[in-house]
Amino acid sequence: MQRNEAVTAIESALTEVLEREVSGTEESARLFEDLHLDSTSVLELLMSLEDLVGIEVDPDELDADDFRTVGTLTDFLLTAKGSPADEPLAARG
């Protein structure tokens, strides 16, 4: 899975969960503060991502840091898919 595919999947899942169009996000965008995800929606987001990306997530093993930004969630997805993160997060600002 390519990095941009993971970001697109996250945007699709956010669109479903937040019930509004989410696209063109920066990887530095914070899920809670900037995109206004709330804590009750995290499980819904994970369920949606499982279907979209075809992964199985063990939500209890997830770290709060994975949900900090679009970029950190992308890293998590790529790891879950077994794809290497193609560039370090710091380089993407």
Partner 1 sequence: MSSYLRTMKESVSGDPNAVFVFLCNFEVERRWAQSYTGLPGPQVSGSDETVQRLEELGALLGAEGDYLLLRSPLDPGFRAYAEGLGLAPPSELVPENFPEGASTSAAVLGSPVLLDRLRALGRAGAHLMPMGTSADEQKIAEITGLRLAGADADRAEKVNSKIYSRRITEQLGLRTIPGACCESVDELARALDTGLAAAPAVIVKEAYGVSGRGLIVLRGRTQADRLLRMVRRRAERTGSDRLDVVVEHFLPKRADLNYQFTVGRDGGVHFDFVKEALTENGIHKGHLMPSRLDREQIADLEKTSLALGRRLFEDGFFGVVGVDALLGEDSLVYPVLEINARLNMSSYQGRATEALSRPGGVVLAKHYPLRLERPLTFTEIHEALQGFHRTGTEDTGILLTCFATVNAQAAAATGPFDGRLYTLLFAPDRERLGKLDHGVTERLGALTARKGNPR
How many amino acids of this chain bind partner 1 (CB under 8 A)?
26
Q: Is 30 helix (H, G, I), strand (E, B) or coil?
A: strand
Alpha-carbon dihedral sign for residues 93, 26, 41, 47:
negative
The verdict on 9 binding partner 1 (CB under 8 A) reads no
Residue 28 beta carbon to partner 1: minimum distance, rounded to whole angstroms? 11
Q: Which of residues 24-63 bind partner 1 (CB under 8 A)?
A: 32-34, 36, 38-44, 46-48, 50-51, 56-60, 62-63
Q: C-alpha 83: how far from its chain's center?
A: 14
